[in-house]
Amino acid sequence: MPTFQRTCGLGIVAFVLMVAWSWAVPIFEAPDEPDHWQYVLYVRQHGQLPLYGPAAIEANSPPLYYVFAALFVSPAVSEADVPRRLNKIEVGGVLQRPPGPRLFEPAGLTQYWPLRLVRLATAALSALTVLVCYWAGHSATGKRSTGLLAAGLTLLLPQFTFRGMNISNDVMVTLWCAVATYLVIRLVQRGYTWRVGVTASVAMALAFLSKISSLFVPVTFALAILSVSSTWRARLGRLTVLIIALALVAPWLMRNQSLYGDPFASRAMLTAVGDLVQPRPITSPYFVTVFPVLLFLSFIGYFGWITLWLPGWLYLLYGGLVLAALAGLVWRVSRGGPERRLVLLLATLPMLNVLVVVYINLTFTQPQGRYLFPALPALAVLGALGFEGLPRWSERAGRVLWCALLALNVGILALIVVPAYWLAR
C-alpha cells in the first residue's frame, strides 16, 4: 500500500476514535469547556475578542483556536442553548456537587449540534496532530515503524483522546508544537535550510497564538540551530529567523499591554480568577509530594471536571510502559551514534515544559497533565525511540504494543467513561 494511503488510514483511525470519545463524553463535561465555548461564541457574534475578566475567564488566551472554531458556528446560535449545571445537593448542611462525574444535566446525543460541530472540528485537528507525530517519528530514524509508534503513543494516550475532542485550545497548541518538533527533527537530521527555519518560526508563532504555555519551544529550536555544524557567524545569523515569530505574536502582546498593563495579562489574572489564586514558594513541599504525582496521573488520564479517574492498576501499567521506554532510550543513547544529539535536543522540550507548569503552580494549584501537551509530540518520538532501543525489539513488537494501547484506550472508553456518564443512576 502506498505511503500516502497508509497515512490517510492512520488519520481516519485517529478521527474515528476522537469522534467516539466526543459522543461518549457529554457536552461541557470537560474542564473549562463552557468558558472556551463562551469565547468562541463571542468571537463569532461580535467579530472581536472578548475583554478578560471574571465574566470571561478564558479571554486572556491567545485567539487562534477561537477564531478557527468560530468558523463552524452560526451567529444565530443562542448563548442560552447549552446544558444547565446541576444543582448542588445539601449534605450535613453543606452544599456539595452532585454524586458521580456529571456536573451538567444529561442531554441526548442529538442535542447541542452547534457545540458538537465545534467538537468535531477540534477532533479533526487532533487527527492532524497524530499525522504530524507520525512524520516526526519517521524523520527521526527514516523508518515507518518509528513514525507509527510515535503516532500511536500520541493518539492512544487516554488524556489526549479525552482532551483532543473538547472545545479547548489544548488541541491547537499541540498541533503547532508537533509541527515545530517535526521541523526541529528535520533540521537536526538533514541540516539547516531557510525554508525549514522560516516554517518553524511561523509554526512556533502559531503555537504561541494558540496557547502561551508553548513559549519555551523557541529555546529548543535555537539550540538545534546552534548545534548544527557551521561557523558561529552563520549560526547566529540563522537565529534571526525568530524575528518572524516575534513579528507575528507582537500585535496580540501589544494589545494585552494596552488593555491590561502587561503583555501576558498576568496581573489581570489575579482579579479575573482570584478565587483560584494560591501562591506558594518553590521550596513548598507541594512540589515534591502532590505536584509530581497528580501531574503524572492527569497526564495519563482523568476525565470530566477531575471527577473521573482510572483504576490504580492502569496508572501502574502506563507507568511501567514509561519506565520501559526510558530504559530503552538510556540504552540507546549510551551506545552513542548520530541520534544522541537528537535525543538530547528533544528531551529539552519536556524539561522546559515542566518548568512552565511549575511556574503556573507557584500561583495556582494546577498540576494538570494537559499542560504538558506542547511537549507531547516530543515525548511520543522519544518514547518510540526508547521502545525501539530495547534489546530484541522488532517491528512486530511495535505492532503488538500499538494494538495493546488501542485495546486499552477503547476499553477505558467503553468500560469506564460510557458507564460513568450514561449507565450510572
Cell of 86: 446541576
Is 32 a domain residue? yes
Grid coordinates 444535566 are at which residue?
A: 105
- pLDDT tens across 101-112, in order? 888 988 777 889
- The total number of structural domains that make up the chain: 1
Q: Judge contact between 397 and 325, C-beta under 8 A.
A: no
Ranges of the chain with pLDDT below 50: 1-2
CA 161 – CA 20 distance, rounded (Å): 9
Is 408 a domain residue? yes
- pLDDT tens across 116-132, in order? 999 999 999 999 999 99
CA 37 – CA 196 distance, rounded (Å): 35
Is 164 a domain residue? yes
* Sign of the CA dihedral with 88 first, then 90, 94, and 96 last: negative
Is 97 a domain residue? no
Please give the backbone phi and psi of residue 283, each rounded to the nearest 5 degrees, phi first. -85, 0
Q: Judge contact between 228 and 187, C-beta under 8 A.
A: yes
Is 99 a domain residue? no
CA 193 – CA 268 distance, rounded (Å): 41
CA 226 – CA 222 distance, rounded (Å): 6
Q: What is the pLDDT of residue 5?
A: 67
Grid coordinates 525511540 are at which residue?
A: 385
Q: What is the pLDDT of residue 1?
A: 37
Q: What is the pLDDT of residue 424?
A: 66
- pLDDT tens across 216-242, in order? 999 999 999 998 888 899 999 999 999
Range of the domain at 177: 3-80+109-261+292-423
* Sign of the CA dihedral with 276 first, then 281, 282, and 285 last: negative
DSSP state of 214: G
Q: Judge contact between 215 and 355, C-beta under 8 A.
A: no
Q: Which segments within 197-279 are labelled E, that is strand? A: none
Is 88 a domain residue? no
CA 379 – CA 15 distance, rounded (Å): 21
Angle at 41 between CA 31 and CA 360, to 5 degrees: 35
Is 102 a domain residue? no
Q: Judge contact between 181 and 207, C-beta under 8 A.
A: no
- pLDDT tens across 349-389, in order? 999 999 999 999 999 999 999 999 999 999 999 999 999 99
Residue type, 298: S
pTM across the whole model: 0.95
Q: Judge contact between 111 and 31, C-beta under 8 A.
A: no
Q: Judge contact between 369 and 379, C-beta under 8 A.
A: no
Is 287 a domain residue? no
